[in-house]
Structure 1
């Protein structure tokens, strides 16, 4: 089998693509190093949200999403990425090491998913009252399974229960002394800011206060923001993993990005809803002890007008070459 590593310039382009992955509050908590034909992906603990994510679970989900996006980018360069998760126990911040030497032909699936990387944006707008087709849901569930996770669509009763849990979780978070301060940190307008949530991505108010989307205008109100009527019966799915370890969190992130890109390919809008899994007592209610499956993320799915993109950090902030 032919092997030849990708060059520095090509891998740099792959890293730029990987940085388009979703992350909590658009914190982009990752760093990359290129050494020969190998890319190492690190967790940037300086960007961890201490109030919402004291364990670093969502940080590693975000890094996992970047790892999956990097895999696609490398695959588009006719290479099979060889991934090792947590390759060095002495360096827990090193999340993944990816070698790029094995030559291959990009599959149709890799090409299809890679084609929509730049089109995937978290959508906080109202969705249409249209049902997500069953065959599309099957493909989303298969996408999660491909990465060792499960995606389960909530039935009517479970959906209403999850919405209620999300509302409870949002209320508890707002009661936390540091929540507003942390939210403000990631929504504070600054000239040339390349991270966080800009006002254009806040989304409108939910006029009926039914769907508990995170209110990014809570600290820095946006004058042009309007109220809107959101869908009464949202399509909601629960992404879960077997186990609840750092490796499972990285796996969840890869599964999440594969699901989001599969949804984007089918012209679906998506909103990861993390509040219910940010409160341990609420998250426990979404976990199935009989199967050992632990809820990692709630995803809202539907059809909507396109959402705005969020900014990305410059390459000089996230990429180093050679050994640290």
Structure 2
């Protein structure tokens, strides 16, 4: 039934990734139409003035809704930014005609609750080139480019810029806001058991969330470094980036590959512009990530999410 599909899609939306697990979204249902809205109170106050990262997270939630509706047998009918007078209304989605879900839809839908964000090093097991090529195609399906760092010079540049950004804001107030101490009952933020107490030396610094847990330090490989870019830098393209990001993450998860995010440099306008001009051929960098294998360590971490009742009007 359509109502059951809508409920399943809303539950799936809450499992989307977001910066610091801030979960910057709310939802409403009018008849059979789902409204996806940005929760501006959860926007990063320092590093995300324009709301770019907030909309990327909401775009990931939107992709989950679309995917689950199609997996339940209904073609999603989506409108992006449907009302100029309501800037926080990012999209509406409703179940359209009956469809038979394809193999990729079923694959992606099955990974929504299994996907985990990784915050450490990877094993030395290489990610197959064919899988990277498939991930590039997945991003392109949402009109976003996924560009692997193809040479050592690009890799060194990305690592250096990320190091510089982390060094510029070592005591990031946003990290403190969203870091969860051990045994915290909160249903948002970054749990203390989801990142290592002593970060692995991958060349890409992780955020300092203050607590951390003991982890296997033998996993210190960088993995495959990639950038997501868009031709422009509009709110529509930020939402598209979120949808492409989630599509890539779910597809990667289905083949045992995890992702670690490094958005520090993209939160500093001058460093983001430097990357756009020097590394991205004028395209706008929206996400920097590392991809690799983890022996399922990240999959065993308990994830926290706000209940649907808290985010649904």
TM-score, normalising length: structure 2: 0.92
- Post-superposition offset of 1:6: 1.6
Whole-Å separation in 2 of the counterparts to 1:158 and 1:188: 34
* 1:78 corresponding residue in structure 2: 73
Relative to 1, partners in 2 of residues 1:233 and 1:66: Cα closer, same or farther, differing over 3 Å? closer
* 2:231 corresponding residue in structure 1: 242
Q: Deviations over 1:132-156 (max 9, x none)?
A: 1110010010011000000111022
* 1:216 corresponding residue in structure 2: 209
Whole-Å separation in 2 of the counterparts to 1:233 and 1:139: 20
Relative to 1, partners in 2 of residues 1:297 and 1:41: Cα closer, same or farther, differing over 3 Å? same
Q: Deviating runs (4+, > 4 A) in structure 1?
A: 288-292
Q: Which of 268, 279, 286 matches 1:296?
A: 286
Name the stretch that deviates more: 261-270 or 283-292.
283-292
Paired positions, count = 307
- Post-superposition offset of 1:28: 0.4
> Does residue 160 of the first structure (1) align with residue 153 of the second (2)?
no
Find the residue that maps to 1:174 and give its secondary structure: coil
Name the stretch that deviates more: 256-265 or 308-317.
308-317
Relative to 1, partners in 2 of residues 1:188 and 1:304: Cα closer, same or farther, differing over 3 Å? closer
Given that residues 32 and 95 in structure 2 are in contact (C-alpha distance below 8 angstroms), is that contact kept between their aligned partners in structure 1? yes
Whole-Å separation in 2 of the counterparts to 1:19 and 1:304: 24
Find the residue that maps to 2:20 and give its secondary structure: helix
Given that residues 206 and 229 in structure 1 are in contact (C-alpha distance below 8 angstroms), is that contact kept between their aligned partners in structure 2? no
Relative to 1, partners in 2 of residues 1:262 and 1:288: Cα closer, same or farther, differing over 3 Å? farther
Relative to 1, partners in 2 of residues 1:267 and 1:197: Cα closer, same or farther, differing over 3 Å? same
Find the residue that maps to 1:49 and give its secondary structure: coil
Q: Which consecutive unaligned segments of at least 5 residues does structure 2 have?
A: none
Whole-Å separation in 1 of the counterparts to 2:153 and 2:184: 45
- Post-superposition offset of 1:292: 4.2
Q: Which consecutive unaligned segments of at least 5 residues does structure 1 have?
A: none
Given that residues 146 and 228 in structure 2 are in contact (C-alpha distance below 8 angstroms), is that contact kept between their aligned partners in structure 1? yes
Find the residue that maps to 1:106 and give its secondary structure: coil
Whole-Å separation in 2 of the counterparts to 1:280 and 1:151: 21
> Does residue 269 of the first structure (1) align with residue 261 of the second (2)?
no
- Post-superposition offset of 1:129: 1.2
* 2:133 corresponding residue in structure 1: 138
> Does residue 25 of the first structure (1) align with residue 20 of the second (2)?
yes
Q: Which of 258, 276, 280 matches 2:247?
A: 258
- 1:96-175 mapped onto 2 (5 Å cutoff): 96-154=91-149, 155-174=151-170
Q: Which of 293, 296, 312 matches 2:305?
A: 312
Root mean square deviation, CA, Å = 1.9
- 1:154-233 mapped onto 2 (5 Å cutoff): 154=149, 155-174=151-170, 179=172, 181-189=173-181, 191-208=184-201, 210-217=203-210, 221-222=211-212, 224-225=213-214, 228=217, 230-233=219-222
Relative to 1, partners in 2 of residues 1:127 and 1:297: Cα closer, same or farther, differing over 3 Å? same
TM-score, normalising length: structure 1: 0.89
Name the stretch that deviates more: 185-194 or 32-41.
185-194
